Amino acid sequence: MTQHQEDTIVALATANGVGAIGVIRLSGPQAITIANSVFKGKDLRKQASHTIHFGHIMDGDVILDEVLMSLFVAPKSYTRENVVEISCHGSNYIIESIIKLLIKHGARAARAGEFTMRAFLNGQLDLSQAEAVADLIAANSKAAQQAAMQQLRGGFSNQLQALREQLVTFASLIELELDFSEEDVEFANREQLRKLVHEIVLIIGKLIQSFELGNAIKQGVNTVIAGRPNAGKSTLLNALLNEDRAIVSHIPGTTRDTIEEVLNINGINFRLIDTAGIREATDTIEQIGVQKTMEKISQTAVLLYVYDVNALSATDLTADIAELVKPSIPAIIVANKTDLLAPTAATIQVQLPDGTDLVQVSAKEKQHIDELKQLIYQRTVKGQLSADETLITNIRHLEALQKTEQALMHVLEGIQTQTTSDFLAMDIKQGLHYLGEITGTVTTDDLLDNIFSKFCIGK
């Protein structure tokens, strides 16, 4: 799809606020001409692409700033349009003045994500790659950065695109059969079609499965810490965070009615959620606290149940585990305060449910905390993560893949039951439609608005 945009857009590309430098970006057919009209230095219109020029931004006779102009001549730019990046001094006043001046000379203020939208519309990126740009900017852990980078580099979209093209060929062969419906001909070899669809369904199934991990990587893995009062939950939280307290501990879009901190283990962010102690409810407010804890536990990706080895009987421990540990959620039983145990004391033995681990620690003395961390990682990420692993991290992709899978299952059923060409064609088309939504072969204005409006301005 190639669409040329008429107007030239401008926005600050670096973060808002005072900085050493600010980068203002212009993109569009007039980008170089407009930049040149406010620039005192070389004639930018006569310079080669990918060159940088020193000079002054002039508002009439007044020097606004000393700048560097970076030139990118279409189509060799991010948007495939003419692009100029002006590196100026990072004062709000200077930046605002330059942008206003550029608008006076014919540019228009860019909307959120408009540069990347142009890159998409001009065929520089497909839709899932464009979305990866936003993910990359938002990435706050190594794993999130890797997943976004993988997607930006084509990741699964190249693979899906190739399969989609093969499917398109089959769809047209089957459509051809419709023209000869009187004659009972079969242009599309059903066995080959079945094989192809089967292959696509397998790949899609794997991608769908990868969402759980992909989403966890992007959003952080919910890790609830629960246990009775004084079991040492807060101390454990602090011990876990001790050296690895995340620099960015606030992830937007989270409700923070419980204490939540971000812990990075092996490049993955875990959101540690400390909860009100269970079983301490003596009044209504406390009851609400316990209720909330139970709710948090039901939504967590992994549960850390902490107990005080010196204070809890085997019976109580068994009762707590029975109440809190559910088969669907990986749980780690953390036997705490082992530093207080006499060396000869036998630890209590209880029957652990399947899939539950027990680790003995001292939160206060920070003993075996690393062991616990690795266990948390293993129980949630398992062995699945590698740098070239393709992961779905985007709910829009997940939904499109699920719908594609459904349509393709119908195709497989249709082939099996030797259904008529028109039904087969319909299901294939449906599958193609949803598959196309991921890479943007099929788009609507609403979809694009929805995606790009979430970007920041200047990207």
Q: Which of 25, 53, 218, 233 binds ligand GDP (CB under 6 A)?
A: 233
- Nearest approach in angstroms of CB 236 to ligand GDP is 7
Instruction: Report the nearest approach of ligand GDP to the CB of residue 321 (Å).
Output: 17
Q: Which of 82, 87, 223, 235 binds ligand GDP (CB under 6 A)?
A: 235
Around 53, how many Cα atoms within 13 Å sit in the side-chain half-sphere? 23
**Least distance to ligand GDP from the beta carbon of 293, Å?**
12
**What are the CA-CA distances from residue 427 to residues 167, 406, 422, 431 (Å)?**
11, 9, 9, 6
Residue 13 or 278 having the CB closest to ligand GDP? 278
Check the annotation: does 330 bind a ligand. Answer: no
Among 27, 141, 356, 362, binds ligand GDP (CB under 6 A): 362
Annotation-wise, does 277 bind a ligand?
yes
> Is 234 among the residues that bind ligand GDP (CB under 6 A)?
yes
- Tell me: does residue 340 bind ligand GDP (CB under 6 A): yes
Return the DSSP state at 45.
G
433 binds ligand GDP (CB under 6 A): no
Residue 12 found at the interface with ligand GDP (CB under 6 A): no
User: Which ranges of 279-386 does DSSP label H, i.e. alpha helix?
Assistant: 284-299, 314-324, 369-381
Taking CB atoms, the residue at the shortest distance from ligand GDP is 232
In angstroms, the CA 392 to CA 11 distance is 31
CB–CB of 208/391 below 8 Å?
no
- What is the DSSP track for 307-326? EETTT--HHHHHHHHHHH--
Contacts of 41 (CB under 8 A, 6+ apart): 53, 54, 55, 56, 69
Residues 6+ apart with CB under 8 A from 167: 196, 197, 200, 428, 431, 432, 435
What x/- string results for residues 118 through 157 when contact with ligand GDP is judged by CB under 6 A? ----------------------------------------
The correct pick among 279, 364, 403, 429 for binding ligand GDP (CB under 6 A) is 364
282 known member of a binding site? no
Among 5, 166, 230, 419, binds ligand GDP (CB under 6 A): 230
Name which of 133 and 236 has its Cβ closer to ligand GDP: 236
Number of chain positions touching ligand GDP (CB under 6 A): 16
Mapped onto helix, strand or coil, the DSSP state of residue 121 is helix
- Choose which of 28, 113, 214, 232 interacts with ligand GDP (CB under 6 A): 232
Q: How far apart are CA 379 and CA 356, in angstroms?
A: 9
Under 8 Å between Cβ of 352 and 365: no
363 binds ligand GDP (CB under 6 A): yes
Yes or no: say if 336 and 306 are a contact pair by the CB < 8 Å rule: yes
Question: Does 356 appear as a known binding residue?
Answer: no
Q: Do the annotations mark residue 255 as ligand-binding?
A: yes
Q: 165 vs 154, 158, 171, 279, 429, CA distance in Å?
A: 16, 11, 10, 59, 12
Three-state SS at 169: helix
Q: Which two tokens stand for residue 389?
A: 């692993």
Contact with ligand GDP (CB under 6 A) among 116, 150, 300, 336:
336
Q: Which stretch, 113-121, 183-191, 359-367, 433-441, contacts ligand GDP (CB under 6 A)? A: 359-367
- Whole-number Å distance between alpha carbons of 117 and 112: 9
Q: How far apart are the first and last CA of the chain?
A: 21
Q: Which residues in the 270-299 window bind ligand GDP by CB under 6 A?
A: 277
* Shortest distance, position 326 Cβ to ligand GDP, whole Å: 21
Q: Is 210 a known ligand-binding residue?
A: no
CB of 233 to ligand GDP, least distance (A): 3
Which residues are annotated as part of the binding site for GTP?
230-235, 249-255, 274-277
Which residues are annotated as part of the binding site for K(+)?
230, 249, 251, 254
Which residues are annotated as part of the binding site?
230-235, 249-255, 274-277
Which residues are annotated as part of the binding site for Mg(2+)?
234, 255
Query: Which residues of this protein are in contact with ligand GDP, per CB under 6 A?
Result: 227, 229-235, 277, 336-337, 339-340, 362-364
